[in-house]
Structure 1
């Protein structure tokens, strides 16, 4: 067994009971502000920070890649990525520095991985990170491109024509073109595949990406993901769960919505409960296969404090 596979096999996600944590939080007066309804500010009081610019700045600040660790647990959480056969196409949405891409490429040497992000600088770091690995034929299987999927949509060459023709509400769910000037040049494949359809993808991964999108835009973002999947394809989801440690650290003045927060640098985080996640995916047309809380205790090596992390794990399918 490889080192990465061994690490993945040791991953655990039920260190504590979420309902027990919920009772502790909801009975703590000091945390009561997280539970209160959110009163939207008047238009003149609303924050005007651009989330896309904020994330670009964030990734430039953390360009060394040390902030993000390779997510090897994905091979255990989503074994479908390991078992799919020749020519399997995966779209990773919000690839960052490549911390998700690399374990996927390691886990299956037959996968073709399309990876998008809203920052060209970040995509360049991802290319360098993946190229420095010893993954077989990575130059032919890793295909990054620029895209802000939540606002401009995915490029048309990514989806199959049959999927586009059969979408229900075409005006709302159509797959968008992405301007040539905003696309990261990655070699001859990019020019060829911009002019023709690649037939849709077998999997979409949304790993800690959807929570960074403003809540009101999430339905559009998920319909975009739905549109580029082949019929029967799967969306693999992992993101921040309700009452995760990071949620409880936000101050009252950092709330920008109910369970939605903004950091000082302008980046956002939403914290999902299972019902909200189910509703978002169902409304986008997906069939729910799995959804649950992952509850993990981790220890801060510097101060020895135990941290209770909560994530939402989900698998959703496009109907055949």
Structure 2
């Protein structure tokens, strides 16, 4: 078990100050709680299953670095690495088939960590009012209004040298708040059907999309699930560029080869509206799951393959920032979530590290 130390008075004061500031700035709901259970006394470690905002000692850091160095010293031969990319879809199909009953769980924490997933109440009220006022408008009039709006958008895009937006109809076209969830198995059954919103969810595993569509709560009036490989450069989405308010990627980018990540984020970002936000949560460097890999499972630096053939990368804050800022997005939040996960039965404590970030697409005029 890792050695632990109590938080210093200064560190505790800083954490409490940050927590209080977030509460004040968001009207009582923190923009990024990341947990509030702080271990003040090491003797209390086995009283709970998880402790938040854990401070690592220098010894912790050195041990973690050494373990990662050891388990990556023997890499999988290059001639064998290709199969984990070429056959990735097959590996993930098998993964979803094996774990299909474990995905559809209560994940309301998403809305606490990412309140951006829900339109504001004021916006919702306005949309509902407009909907009631226009209930008498025929579908032809709606299409005419949509066409006029898209022509205006095209003119604005041409003026900004960003190219025209497609004008053909698409699922969820008439909703004013649109979310894309990559690997769409988290939000789908928490989605509020009373909001004027639409959820797109995709995965390159046909089995994953099949599981979503077969679930009794799936409703294609507010959601569109589809098979899509985000690594394919020429593959198109069922919605036009600059049409999304939110993109959610939770433990998605880590499964992609590091050399492909930048291209993926660049392409996805083109589908965000100006002001739209990219929400990201994934594995952090030296997470317990990285340190437990055995020799011979490493593909490249901090990139591994599991026993089932699926792959995983472990990020640093700096890498996350470069990834999104290089795609032209502006940092709103970039946090390293360090926790201590406890197995009280076996009396074992594990350092967990996750990255949680938010990056916004700004209007070209705001960056000039």
- Shorter-chain TM-score range: 0.7 to 0.9
Q: Is the 8 A contact 2:338 2:352 kept in 1?
A: yes
Q: Which structure 2 residue ranges, 5 or more long, are not aligned?
A: 1-28, 39-50, 128-175, 364-368
Aligned counterpart in structure 1 of residue 189 of structure 2, from 99, 102, 105: 102
Q: How does 1:137-156 map to 2 (within 5 A)?
A: 138-152=219-233, 155-156=236-237
Q: Is the 8 A contact 2:250 2:280 kept in 1?
A: yes
RMSD between superposed Cα atoms in Å? 3.1
**Structure 1 position 127, deviation (Å):** 2.4
1-side partners of 2:340 and 2:226: how far apart?
35
> Counterpart in 1 of 2:292?
249
**Structure 1 position 24, deviation (Å):** 0.5
Q: Is the 8 A contact 1:153 1:221 kept in 2?
A: no
2-side partners of 1:75 and 1:22: how far apart?
34
Over 6 Å off, 4+ runs: 8-11, 38-42
> Counterpart in 2 of 1:57?
94
> Counterpart in 1 of 2:197?
111
Q: TM-score, normalised by structure 1?
A: 0.73
Matched position secondary structure for 1:276:
helix
Matched position secondary structure for 1:252:
coil
Say if 1:44 and 1:9 are closer, same or farther in 2 by CA, change over 3 A. closer
Q: Is the 8 A contact 2:297 2:305 kept in 1?
A: yes
**Structure 1 position 102, deviation (Å):** 2.4
More displaced stretch, 9-18 vs 282-291 = 9-18
Structure 1 position 71 matched with structure 2 position 157: no
Say if 1:158 and 1:34 are closer, same or farther in 2 by CA, change over 3 A. farther
Matched position secondary structure for 1:253:
coil
| Matched pairs, number | 266
Deviations 1:102-121 (A, max 9, x none): 23x04973321000011222
**Structure 1 position 233, deviation (Å):** 0.8
Q: Is the 8 A contact 1:26 1:35 kept in 2?
A: no
**Structure 1 position 318, deviation (Å):** 1.2
Q: TM-score, normalised by structure 2?
A: 0.64
2-side partners of 1:281 and 1:293: how far apart?
16
**Structure 1 position 28, deviation (Å):** 5.8
2-side partners of 1:270 and 1:279: how far apart?
16
Matched position secondary structure for 1:140:
coil
Aligned counterpart in structure 1 of residue 181 of structure 2, from 76, 86, 92: 92
1-side partners of 2:335 and 2:55: how far apart?
12
Matched position secondary structure for 2:338:
strand
Q: How does 1:155-166 map to 2 (within 5 A)?
A: 155-160=236-241, 163=242
Q: Which structure 1 residue ranges, 5 or more long, are not aligned?
A: 1-5, 164-199
